[in-house]
Amino acid sequence: MTLKTPPVARPLGVAQPSPVGTARTLLLAGVLLCLLTVGMTGFAAYLTITVAETGVWKTALGAATLVVVVLALLTARPLISGFRQQVASTTAAEAGDLVSARKFRARAAQSGWTALGSCLPLMFIATFTMFLLANDHAVQTTFFDAQFMAQSVGDVTVAFGENIKIALLAEAFVLVWALVIALARLAPSKAGRPLRWLATAYVDVFRAIPSIIVIYLVGFGLPLAGVPILSEMGPMWSAVLALTLTYGAYVAEVYRAGIEGIHWSQVSAARSLGLSYGKTMRHVIVPQAVRKVTPPLLNDFIGLQKDTALVTIIGTVDAFTQAKMYSSNYFNLSSVTVVAILFIIITIPQTRFVDRLLERDARRQLSKG
Amino acid sequence: MAFLELNDVEKSYATNPVLRGITLHVAKHQVVCLIGASGCGKSTLLRCVNALEDIQGGDIRLDGDVVSGEGIDVNSLRRKVGIVFQSFNLFPHMTVLQNVTLSPIRVLGVPRADAEKQAIALLTRVGLAEKADAYPDQLSGGQQQRVAIVRALAMNPEVLLLDEITSALDPELVAEVLNIVRDLAADGLTILMATHEMSFAREVADTVAYIHEGTVLEQGPPADIFGAPQHERTQAFLKKIIEAGRL
Ligand SMILES: Nc1ncnc2c1ncn2[C@@H]1O[C@H](COP(=O)(O)OP(=O)(O)OP(=O)(O)O)[C@@H](O)[C@H]1O
Ligand SMILES: [Mg+2]
């Protein structure tokens, strides 16, 4: 296709080349930050070796901080190569080779950013180390007393089994209970209206009350009121009941969003095959919804697992209760740090798993276009 | 008396009337094609026959029995009247075999083994037996639509409703789906279908009904409707179709 464009008066001559610019300021900033990082990590390493408690910590922390110092020194490498590129860029610019000049300048800037980026986490580590060692390493001994941690880890881990038991039981009940609530919230037709109201009220109420209050009320209130059966179930089952009530409300909303997210044409298709409303839900809608909501559901479960530490207020001997006993006997919180570490250990794999599921779903969405 | 009768059927969405007195009779073993401009109410009509939508006036009768309005057993109606949609609507979490056997097992109570045997037989007939264990997203559009037809057939319907089943397909996949419909028609299945495939309608239909703004403006044998349309609007519609090269 040929388009006739009227000739436009345009000044003859060379197009103005875009300026090459320089990465020098960036590189200088990099140098300053690099020096600061080396200084801070060096100081942290010095503190560790001179101040830290003797024994395991001294060796471990000493080695670790030395590694950090080495890493800090290594940030000089991208800086050096950055300066080389910058020189090359200047030379090329002087020789009139603007394309190469720009290329080298871009590489110099890239190196500068790399150096800056590596300095930040190292500075963070150095700061944290200094914090631990502050006040004659009081922070370290309070939170990370190795000996005391080793002493308490056995009992705390055994008691952590109670947290896991409560979590697993509550999760199993929540899976079913929340689905019941969600289906009640979506109950069809006029006849379903009272059911919808009831379920909505339940969800509103239990999403409003902090779980610690629910645990307290269930754990102490039911025995106090002498409700038959419910008052004799003991703190462990009280905790399971309380967490099921609270998280049932959250997960019901997750299910509901999932069910409502299934396209109505799926309902049409199922109903047109003669399936009743109930069978349509059971065989067609709910299975698809559950698949969709697995990631948010697992997120709520992670929250539930962490809330098992709240049962300490009703006297269940869980990991936190056990750790507090240790800490009040020895005036040291390192046993509680052990609990924190245990929660981290069980939670991180789950969050990674959720990320993976989300990524997979995103890829599916993409591939479907 | 016709097998499927729509008598003066009226349907509106809120205040918007979509069907304004549709009267249409489908005899047993006949193929009736609904043609008409987009938005004239073809899909709505088919959904009403299957009781996926309520109607506000008139009645629908199947084999003499009223199947519209309050108090009807929709599930037993839907056992007799199958429908296939433009967008396939297969269940994405089930394999082809599970899609096809779901309602025979859950609605008719057919033992699983028998349902699967019948499903495989039907799938073989449409050339998809080897896809029995595939999931819908592993199939082409044409294959998915063939599965959707098989899924409806697995209930042994007495009437099959087809709603523009080839509209969502790439042109080269249309034939494989229409061939199946042609087969079913030859076998004597009663079919009521909305379609934009005019040459197919001309070839297979016993009756063609031109729908305009929710009424049947004109109906008759395809030779009459396509050859000598009486109504001005039908003529205009067919003229456009011919201009678009679709007849
Ligand atoms: N669920 C609904 N709510 C409100 N209006 C609707 C609904 N479904 C359809 N309509 C309206 O009813 C009219 C008829 O729609 P219908 O889908 O039956 O047309 P159609 O003849 O099948 O068209 P097409 O050839 O595009 O499929 C349209 O004007 C549409 O906007
Ligand atoms: Mg339509």
Host domain of residue A107: 16-143
Domain end: A128, A143, A158, which one? Answer: A143
Q: What is the dihedral of CA A24, A26, A31, A36, to 10 degrees?
A: 150
Residue A198 and residue A315 in one domain: yes
**Structural domain of residue B54, as residue ranges?**
2-87+159-243
- The answer to whether residues A201 and A340 belong to one domain is yes
Report whether pLDDT(A8) > 80.
no
Residue scoring higher pLDDT (A247 or A360): A247
Average pLDDT over residues A95-105: 87
Please state, rounded to an integer, the average pLDDT across all residues of chain B.
91
Whole-number pLDDT of residue A316 = 84
Residues A75 and A97 in one domain: yes
Work out the pLDDT band at A222, boundaries 50, 70, 90: confident
Q: Is residue B59 part of a domain?
A: yes
| DSSP codes of every residue in A48-104 | HHHHSPSSHHHHHHHHHHHHHHHHHHHTHHHHHHHHHHHHHHHHHHHTT-HHHHHHH
Measure B13 CA to ligand 2 centroid, in angstroms. 15
**Confidence band for A194, pLDDT divided at 50, 70 and 90:** very high
Residue B47 has pLDDT above 90, yes or no: yes
Flag whether B149 is in a domain.
Answer: no
Instruction: Read off the pLDDT of each residue in A220-233 and give the average, rounded to a whole number.
Output: 80
Statement: residue A13 has pLDDT above 70: no
Lowest mean pLDDT of A46-50, A149-153, A281-285, B49-53, name the range: A46-50
**Residues B183, A56: Cα–Cα separation, whole Å:** 82
Task: Flag whether residue B138 sits within 8 Å of chain A, measured between CB atoms.
Answer: no
* A275–chain B nearest CA distance, Å: 6
Q: Enter the pTM of the model.
A: 0.82
Question: Does residue B103 lie in a domain region?
Answer: no
**Residue A288 maps to which CATH number?**
1.10.3720.10
Residue A8 in any domain: the answer is no
Could you tell me which chain B residue has the CA closest to the CA of A290?
A: B93
Is there a single domain that holds both residue A128 and residue A103?
A: yes
Is A327 exposed, middle or buried, given 0-12, 13-18 or 19+ CB atoms closer than 10 A?
A: buried
What digits encode the pLDDT tens for the residues A134-190? 777 788 888 888 888 888 889 989 999 999 999 999 999 999 999 999 999 998 888
Split at pLDDT 50, 70, 90, the class of B169 is: confident
Which residues are bridge partners to A131 per DSSP?
Answer: none
Residues A280, A298 within the same domain: yes
Q: How do residues B79-123 score in pLDDT, each as one tens digit?
A: 899 999 999 899 999 999 999 999 999 999 999 999 999 999 999
Sheet holding B65-66, edge to edge: B16-26, B4-13, B57-62, B65-66
B164 pocket-lining for ligand 1 (C-beta < 6 Å): yes
Quickly state the pLDDT bin for A210 (edges 50, 70, 90). very high
Q: Are B96 and B136 in contact (CB under 8 A)?
A: yes
Q: Is A196's pLDDT higher than 60?
A: yes
Q: What is the CATH classification number for the domain harbouring B10?
A: 3.40.50.300
Q: Which of A88, A118, A143 is the last residue of a domain?
A: A143
Domain check: are A269 and A364 in the same one? yes
Nearest Cα residue to B211 out of B197, B195, B223: B195
Picking from B103, B108, B149, B162 by the largest number of A CB atoms within 10 A of its own CB, the best residue to mutate is B103
Q: A15 falls in which pLDDT band (50, 70, 90)?
A: low
* Contact: A287, B152; criterion CB under 8 Å: no
Q: Kindly state whether residue B154 falls inside one of the protein's structural domains.
A: no
* Co-location of A264 and A354 in the same domain: yes
Centre of ligand 2 to C-alpha B192, Å, is 13
Nearest to B25 by CA among B44, B49, B43, B41: B49
The closest of A252, A256, A257, A251 to A297, measured between CA atoms, is A251
Confidence of residue A16 (pLDDT cuts 50, 70, 90): low
Q: Indicate whether A203 and A326 sit together in one domain.
A: yes
Whether A184 and A228 share a structural domain:
yes
Provide the mean pLDDT of chain A.
87
Contacts of A275 in chain B (CB under 8 A): 75, 102-103, 106-107
Which of B42, B45, B237, when mutated, tests ligand 1's pocket best, judged by the most ligand atoms within 8 Å of its CB?
Answer: B42
DSSP B27: -
Average pLDDT over residues A49-57: 70
Residues A81 and A202 in one domain: no
Whether residue B104 lies inside any domain: the answer is no
Interchain CB distance below 8 Å, B83 and A272:
yes
A261 belongs to a structural domain: yes
Q: Determine, yes or no, domain membership for B92.
A: no
Give the minimum alpha-carbon distance from A97 to chain B in angstroms, rounded to a whole number. 53
Model confidence at A2: pLDDT above 60: no
Give the distance from residue A122's alpha carbon to the nearest chain B alpha carbon, in angstroms. Answer: 48
Q: Sorting pLDDT into bands at 50, 70 and 90, what band is A10? A: low
pLDDT value for A369 = 41
The average pLDDT across A90-106 equals: 88
Measured CA to CA in angstroms, residue A320 lies from A164, A317, B61 at distances of 12, 8, 70
Q: Which of A29-38, A50-59, A67-76, B27-36 has the lowest mean pLDDT?
A: A50-59
Do residues A172 and A185 both lie within one domain? yes
Domain count, chain A: 2
Do A62 and A175 reside in the same domain of the chain? no
Give the pLDDT of residue B147: 95
Residue A296 forms part of a structural domain: yes
How would residue A131 be classed by pLDDT, with cut points 50, 70 and 90? confident
Q: How confident is the model at residue A5 (pLDDT cuts 50, 70, 90)?
A: low
User: Which residues on chain B are in Cβ contact (under 8 Å) with A273?
Assistant: 78, 82, 102-103, 107, 151-152, 155
Whether residue B101 lies inside any domain: the answer is no
Q: How many domains does chain B have?
A: 1
Q: Measured in angstroms, how far is the CA atom of residue B93 from the centroid of ligand 2?
A: 26
Last residue of a domain, one of A143, A177, A208: A143
Q: Is A272 on the interface with B (CB under 8 A)?
A: yes
Structure tokens at B58: 């008139």
Residues with CB under 5 A from ligand 2 (ion): B 43
Residue A4, domain member (yes or no) = no
The verdict on residue A3 lying in a domain is no
Mean pLDDT of B41-62: 92
Beta carbon pairs, A and B, within 8 Å: 56
Residue A98 has pLDDT above 60, yes or no: yes
In this prediction, residues A20-49 reach a mean pLDDT of 87
Could you give the percent of chain B with pLDDT greater than 90? 66
In this predicted structure, the answer to whether residue A367 has a pLDDT above a threshold of 80 is no
Q: Does the CB of B147 have a partner CB in chain A at under 8 Å?
A: no
**Percent of chain A whose predicted confidence (pLDDT) is above 90:** 44
Q: How far is A268 from chain B (nearest CA, A)?
A: 7
